[in-house]
Amino acid sequence: MLLTITYTGENAADLGYLLHKNPSRPQTAVSSFGKIHIFYPEISANRCTAALLLDIDPLDLARGKPGSAGGGLFDYVNDRPYVSSSFMSTAISRVYGTAMSGRCEMKQVLADSALDLSATLVMLPCRGDTAMLEKVFAPLGYKVEWESGLLDDSFPEWGDSCYVNLTIRGKVRLQDLLRHIYVLIPVFDYRKHYWIGDEEVDKLLAHGSGWLEKHPEKNFITRRYFSKFGHFTKQALKRLDRLDNGEGGAENPAAESPVTEEEEASIPVKIPRLNDQRLLAVLGELKASGAQSVLDLGCGEGNLLHLLMKTKDFTAIAGMDVSALMLSRAAGNLKFDRMTEEEKKRVTLFQSSLCYRDKRFKNYDAAAIVEVIEHLDENRLPALEAVIFADASPATVIITTPNADYNVNYTGLTANHFRHGDHRFEWNRVQFRAWADSAATRHDYSVRYEDIGEQDANQNTPTQMAVFRKNTRQKTTAPEAAESAA
Ligand code: SAH
């Protein structure tokens, strides 16, 4: 991803002072998500361009480094390494943090002056919002130009791609230009690579104060900046309104001391992924159940199996999936080829289907079915129910599935669409509980429910989990008899 900033004016190379980056020395900063190169492709008396090139290794992302998505194929096939996203915003504040604060001892007057500046951002994901480019940047005093290409030259009927190369030109202070870009990239891309915590509101206020509170698209910008975290949007809008009314400045110390390079570098970029939260919740339930043997049904690439193997409580572990490809990936991820004979006795992988009775499902203490039921056609669920509860019948069954109530928080997800292309249905809490309650009753299990993941303002979480326990028959021995026998 590339951001270029061009200054046109007398002694244009002074841009180097303002950015605190020497024009004659290309530099590279290493961040947790990739390399940030800074160099000047153009320096003349009247024009100087600084380029920030962000080089993210797509494989690093896929290997679970910050920015990887929910796991699976998406981590390998996605646009993250190639587009202007929150990675770029973080890179900007990392390498241009001092410039964003407006400090420049050598050229303070220049730093405080509105200059002829332009900035070009390459590959900004816009997702059909190109009309918003003008509405968002023009009120800040910029002339806005953007170009886009066909999604696929061979299929012109598919229309334009959702990525644009954006250029904004205006007479602005460099610190303002940087703060605008920092805030507005994730507004268009709206997929932050890091965990959004309470400090994110302070950060927006720090970089947005002085312009955002008066912006006609303040609501749009704030909502999109926080994407699915609606409660932060509300907090931020309240504080922006107070700023607009001339109140509340003191309540926002960050606005008075813009985030510095050092502070920005300490922003946590490690993401507790929903996937991880879910697997840890399932692992916790399995441990609490006292199970020693566990069957992971629809094990996918083996993420839960990996955790199970690291836990001594489990003496027999099996992973089953309908897909041979998934099983071979699981075998690779779990390093089956390097397992000792002893380890091989503890862990097995096999191909089967949840919809057909299979002797191999029997004799496990617990079964986990994590994010699988929604991949089956709803009319196959009675078969699954018979196979798991009636036939295999382990003491504990744990099932997780998306909570459709939470989908309103996914800005990119329109009504009647699912989170994943292969999902056949997504249930809200009432629907999931209705199915699970009746399955439990039919097969003499009891069931309780847990929420997994970030809770939104309406108390929804992205994942819901049912923990089934087989009801044990009342012992015939009376308690008194047991006591006297003891
Ligand atoms: N449990 C894993 C994978 C979830 S993705 C995890 O949480 O990471 C859904 C998985 O269910 C896929 O691997 C898919 O191959 C598997 N699957 C779909 N239908 C199935 C069926 N009928 N029987 C067994 N597995 C199935």
For residues 14-41, average pLDDT: 89
* Ligand 1 site-directed mutation target among 372, 374, 378, most atoms within 8 Å of CB: 372
- Comparing 87 with 66, the larger pLDDT belongs to 87
For residues 408-431, average pLDDT: 78
For residues 438-462, average pLDDT: 89
Q: Which of 48, 40, 46, 52 is nearest to 6 (CA)?
A: 48
For residues 440-454, average pLDDT: 94
Q: Which CATH architecture has domain 274-470?
A: 3-Layer(aba) Sandwich (3.40)
Residue 461's H or E segment, with its range, is: none
Between the CA of 67 and the centroid of ligand 1 the distance, in Å, is: 24
Average pLDDT, the chain: 83
**7 touches 47 (CB < 8 A):** yes
For residues 115-132, average pLDDT: 86
For residues 58-72, average pLDDT: 51
Between the CA of 310 and the centroid of ligand 1 the distance, in Å, is: 22
**Helix residue spans in 226-367 (DSSP H):** 230-244, 253-256, 261-265, 274-289, 303-309, 324-333, 341-346
Answer whether 0.75 is exceeded by the pTM: no
Domain ranges in the chain? Answer: 2-194, 274-470
The verdict on the CB of residue 374 being under 6 Å from ligand 1 is no
Any idea which of 50-59, 188-197, 205-214, 245-254 has the lowest mean pLDDT? 245-254
| Tens digit of each residue's pLDDT (9 = 90 or more) over 185-198 | 888 876 655 555 66
| pLDDT of 116 above 90 | yes
Residues in the chain: 486
Q: Which of 145, 147, 94 is nearest to 118 (CA)?
A: 145
Instruction: Name residue 54's amino acid.
Output: L
Rounded percentage of the chain residues whose pLDDT exceeds 90: 50
Which CATH superfamily is 2-194 part of? Hen1, N-terminal domain (3.30.1610.20)
- Comparing 192 with 122, the larger pLDDT belongs to 122
Instruction: Rank 153-167, 233-247, 285-299, 322-336 by mean pLDDT and report only the highest.
Output: 285-299
* Ligand 1 site-directed mutation target among 375, 381, 385, most atoms within 8 Å of CB: 375
Ligand 1 atom 16 nearest Cα: 298
**What integer pLDDT is reported at residue 58 of this predicted model?**
67
Between the CA of 349 and the centroid of ligand 1 the distance, in Å, is: 13
Q: Which of 229, 278, 294 is nearest to 401 (CA)?
A: 278
| Tens digit of each residue's pLDDT (9 = 90 or more) over 185-242 | 888 876 655 555 667 788 888 888 889 999 999 998 898 888 766 677 788 888 888 7
- For 27-48, b/e burial (b = at least 16 CB within 10 A) is eeeebebbebbbebeeeeeeeb
Q: Which atom of ligand 1 is nearest to 355's Cα? A: 22
Give the bridge partners for 36, in sequence order: 29, 54
**Pairing relation of β-strands 316-321 and 293-297?**
parallel
Tokens of 298: 């629809």
If one counts every other C-beta atom within 10 angstroms of the C-beta of residue 20, the result is 16
If one counts every other C-beta atom within 10 angstroms of the C-beta of residue 135, the result is 15
CA 332 vs CA 45, 54, 101, 156, 283: distances in Å: 58, 31, 48, 40, 21
The verdict on the CB of residue 321 being under 6 Å from ligand 1 is yes
The whole-angstrom separation of Cα 314 and Cα 306 is 12
The whole-angstrom separation of Cα 249 and Cα 252 is 5
